[in-house]
Amino acid sequence: MIDATAPSASTLQPAHHGASEVAVRRALPADGPARCALMARVAMETDLSLSVRRDPDVDALYRLQSPDWESWVVDADGAVEGMGTALVRDGYLNGARTRIGYLGDLRFSPKAEGRLLLDRFYGPVLRSASARFGCDYFLTAVIASNTRALRALTARTRRADRCGRPRYTLLREFDIRSIHLVLPLPPRLPRLSGVRRGAGVRVRAAIADDVPAIARCLDDDARRRPFGYVLDEGALRRRLASWPGLSASSFHVAEDGAGRIVGCLARWDAAPVKRTAVVAYRGAMRRVRRAHDAVARLLGRPTLPAPGGEFRYQYLTHVAVPSDDPATLRALLRAAYAGARADGCHFMSAFAPESDPLAPAYRGYVATNLRAHLYLVTLPEVPLPALGPDARPAFEMALV
């Protein structure tokens, strides 16, 4: 474990930059509106430029997944010009229960850029969170096209080593997969060649009595994945009680011939705690929008939002197929597609890791993929865990 004497002060040593003073400190409740505003105005720059809206309560999303988190802000002359959060929850590593962290919502305004904040403060902030929550291993995701962030965070330089900057180890590339719902699902999807399992599964909407079996399915799947969530029945019931709009009926379950639940997923609309707005369509996304909207008007479906508008979508969350049978996931996706389309959504959002045996399940769906990298972040003195070359980390995209 990390040395418990690591710094834990609520404000780190201020840095002077010209006539201004910059301090990195723990976020206060009064910072909430400024943090929401910063998150909204620092857009994710890709062909589809997006802005994340977390008002009125920027911390609501954190409370859904753990009581153990801390947020920090960059205070430049009394204004919030940067932010980031470290969150820690129970997870599995090599089948054993341990503490797993996530680092997210890193944002810098133009006023905070160029001040070597990562060199000055990143190590102490992570050391503080590690000591406070007893956690050595943190995950984080970076959009592949965000080359500035990738260079700033992951490049190993002598300066970074001298400053004690955290180390980034690539675990897996993945796609943030948006499955478009404008078209009705065809009666038959392309056959999955060489896949015979799953042919006899039956998919249905879950009921309250299914919660114990769903929890077993989720926990069985999580135990075999590095950094999987601990989701026993108690943890699942707490989620059902606290996640807005999530209930047993949000789940689709796949049963085998004996009536055993062998796979599940839930559809969840995160709008009460997180919304995604369009800043601009660029490049290929302009053509995608034109094609989508032409078909949508013909079929009476929702068109994509104009810049400034928000998408309506559902996450595919709590996805578990312990057998790694793509035919089982395919059957679940079919039911989810019908449900999300009936709800008037633009798309469903899924975590699609590279080299996943479940990947054939998505064949035949119209989708847009945004490539991202999943990293393990550790302090320099923390040894890397032993992970096999085929280890497939767990990641819950709905909570980031």
- Strand ranges (E), 109-164: 137-143
- Strand ranges (E), 132-201: 137-143, 167-180
pLDDT for residue 219 is more than 70: yes
Any idea where the domains of the chain sit in the sequence?
A: 15-174, 177-370
pLDDT for residue 121 is more than 80: yes
Rg (CA), the chain: 22
User: What average pLDDT does this structure show over 344-369?
Assistant: 94
pLDDT at 292: 94
User: What average pLDDT does this structure show over 1-5?
Assistant: 29
Q: Percentage of the chain with pLDDT > 90?
A: 74
Q: How far is CA 19 from CA 13, 22, 75, 94, 112, in A?
A: 17, 10, 14, 51, 14
**Low-confidence winner among 7-16, 148-157, 247-256, 322-331 (lowest mean pLDDT):** 7-16
User: What average pLDDT does this structure show over 243-263?
Assistant: 97
pLDDT for residue 7 is more than 50: no
Burial 248-258 (b: 16+ CB within 10 A, else e): bebbbbbbbee
Burial 293-302 (b: 16+ CB within 10 A, else e): eeebeeeebe
Q: In terms of pLDDT, which residue wins out, 45 or 289?
A: 289
Give the Cβ contact number of residue 400 at 10 Å: 20
pLDDT in tens, 47-62: 889 999 999 999 999 9
89 in Cβ contact with 68 (< 8 Å): yes
pLDDT at 8: 40
Give the Cβ contact number of residue 390 at 10 Å: 7
pLDDT for residue 331 is more than 60: yes
Question: Could you give the CA distance from residue 33 to residue 315 in angstroms, rounded to a whole number?
Answer: 26
- Strand ranges (E), 63-120: 68-76, 79-93, 96-108
User: What average pLDDT does this structure show over 139-148?
Assistant: 91
89 in Cβ contact with 62 (< 8 Å): no
User: What average pLDDT does this structure show over 71-92?
Assistant: 94
Amino acid 120 reads R
User: What average pLDDT does this structure show over 166-174?
Assistant: 95
Determine the distance from the C-alpha atom of residue 29 to the mean position of all C-alpha atoms in its chain, rounded to a whole number: 24
pLDDT for residue 105 is more than 80: yes
Read off the pTM.
Answer: 0.90
**Low-confidence winner among 3-12, 159-168, 191-200, 206-215 (lowest mean pLDDT):** 3-12
Instruction: Report the CATH architecture of 15-174.
Output: 3-Layer(aba) Sandwich (3.40)
- For 224, phi then psi, to 5°, come to -90, 0
For residue 3, what pLDDT band results from cuts at 50, 70 and 90?
very low
pLDDT at 199: 60
Amino acid 113 reads E
pLDDT at 36: 96
pLDDT for residue 196 is more than 60: no
The per-residue pLDDT of the chain, averaged, comes to 89
Give the Cβ contact number of residue 115 at 10 Å: 21
pLDDT at 26: 95
How, if at all, do strands 313-320 and 68-76 pair?
Answer: unpaired
**Low-confidence winner among 108-117, 258-267, 382-391 (lowest mean pLDDT):** 108-117
User: What average pLDDT does this structure show over 170-179?
Assistant: 95
pLDDT for residue 18 is more than 70: no
pLDDT at 195: 52
> Collapsing DSSP states into helix, strand and coil, what is residue 241?
helix
User: What average pLDDT does this structure show over 18-39?
Assistant: 87
Burial 45-78 (b: 16+ CB within 10 A, else e): ebbbbbbbbbeeebbebbebbbebbbbbbbbbee
Give me the residue label for tokens 């949508």. Answer: 296
pLDDT at 245: 97
Q: In terms of pLDDT, which residue wins out, 149 or 305?
A: 305
Judge if 15-174 and 177-370 fold alike in CATH terms.
Answer: yes
Question: Could you give the CA distance from residue 381 to residue 331 in angstroms, rounded to a whole number?
Answer: 45
User: What average pLDDT does this structure show over 305-313?
Assistant: 96
For residue 161, what pLDDT band results from cuts at 50, 70 and 90?
confident
Give me the residue label for tokens 């399915």. Answer: 217
For residue 193, what pLDDT band results from cuts at 50, 70 and 90?
low
User: What average pLDDT does this structure show over 300-326?
Assistant: 96
User: What average pLDDT does this structure show over 233-237?
Assistant: 96
User: What average pLDDT does this structure show over 386-397?
Assistant: 85
User: What average pLDDT does this structure show over 341-359?
Assistant: 95
pLDDT at 115: 59
CATH 3.40.50.10470 fits 177-370, yes or no: no
DSSP lists the bridge partners of residue 281 as 48
pLDDT for residue 307 is more than 90: yes
Question: Could you give the CA distance from residue 128 to residue 12 in angstroms, rounded to a whole number?
Answer: 10
pLDDT at 190: 67
pLDDT for residue 113 is more than 70: yes
For residue 194, what pLDDT band results from cuts at 50, 70 and 90?
low
